[in-house]
Amino acid sequence: MIKLKDLLFEGINDPGIFKAVFLAGGPGSGKTYVVKQLFGIPDRFNISMSGMKMVNSDKELKFLLNKYGFGTDLDKMPEEVFKNLTSDDPGSSGLRRFAKSLTKARMDLYQKGKLGMIIDGTGHDFNKIAMEKKRLEEDGYDTYMVFVNTSLDVAQQRNQERDRVLPPALLKKSWTDVQRNIGKFQSLFKSNFVIVDNSDYLDEEEAKKKFVPLMKRNINVFVKKPIRNPIAKMWIKKQQILKKKGK
């Protein structure tokens, strides 16, 4: 098994280090499916072939919901129970806050090791992503965004097929909020931004034909491109000096 210290001290020349890719798209957009296709992440794993690590608070929340016997079909829960489990309010159960704290700890660990990250979120809160982008760039990261887009009808249909089903009204609100942010994200990430349409239901061969060229044209170029952030360049230079000195 990979040791923790190996994760924190991967080679300074690895292509994934100091690269952070943000995912945006409403619930039911199929972000998880798309990112696994784009980054070559096998099922049941959270590490891409390029070494980039997935960060997703939904994974932690889903684990906690199942652990404590609530299940993940949120649409069938009484409204009061649903709000108590998924709210960040001080008077709630705290389950959502705990899930976010676990995700943050995981992300902090990856960042400490300067590892490449794929940060999976809905994108409904523009300011939150803008602040996270700024924080990572101040630590040396180059950033990119993949926006996975679908129609509302498709999102609602896919939502019913998910393990964690959201109430339709909540999904509609989240989808609408995310749609309003597309232009803002384009302005924020500029050329490091791509929209992926995932409205169609594709079989395995169709998915390969659609996503492999997109991966080669956009994702691979970003991940393999030399790091541009001067903070990261300085860090790498210092690490190379220390390595030569045997430290």
> In whole numbers, what is the pLDDT of the chain averaged over residues?
80
Nearest Cα neighbor of 119 from 61, 183, 52, 192 is 52
Tallying the residues shown for the chain, one arrives at 247
Dihedral sign for Cα 70, 73, 74, 76, please: negative
Residue 72, helix vs strand vs coil: coil
User: Tens digit of pLDDT for each residue in 123-173?
Assistant: 888 999 999 999 999 999 999 999 988 889 988 988 888 777 888 898 899
Percent of the chain with pLDDT strictly greater than 70? 77
Greatest distance between any 2 Cα atoms in the chain = 62
In whole angstroms, give the CA distance from residue 132 to residue 123: 12
Q: Provide the pLDDT for residue 21.
A: 92
In whole angstroms, give the CA distance from residue 37 to residue 85: 31
Amino acid at 93: S
Amino acid at 143: T
Q: Is 217 exposed, middle or buried (0-12, 13-18, 19+ CB in 10 A)?
A: exposed
User: Tens digit of pLDDT for each residue in 225-236?
Assistant: 889 999 999 998
User: Phi/psi class of residue 114: alpha, beta or left (left: φ > 0; alpha: ψ in -120 to 50)?
Assistant: left
Task: Render 104-125 in DSSP notation, one character per residue.
Answer: HHHHHHHHHTT--EEEE-----
Q: Provide the pLDDT for residue 2.
A: 44
Check pLDDT > 50 for residue 7: no
In whole angstroms, give the CA distance from residue 70 to residue 73: 8
What pLDDT band is residue 97 in, cutting at 50, 70 and 90? confident
Q: Provide the pLDDT for residue 121.
A: 80
In whole angstroms, give the CA distance from residue 118 to residue 103: 12
Check pLDDT > 60 for residue 9: no
What pLDDT band is residue 192 in, cutting at 50, 70 and 90? very high
Check pLDDT > 50 for residue 185: yes
Nearest Cα neighbor of 237 from 216, 95, 227 is 227
Neighbours of 226 (CB within 10 A): 7
As beta bridge partners, residue 55 has 119
Question: Average pLDDT, stretch 59-76?
Answer: 68
Check pLDDT > 80 for residue 92: no
Q: Which of 203 and 178 is assigned the larger pLDDT?
A: 178
| Domains annotated on the chain, with CATH | 4-244 (3.40.50.300)
Question: Average pLDDT, stretch 192-200?
Answer: 88
Q: Token pair for residue 53?
A: 């690590």
- For the chain, how far is it from start to end, CA to CA, in angstroms? 25
What pLDDT band is residue 53 in, cutting at 50, 70 and 90? confident
Strands 142-149 and 193-197: parallel
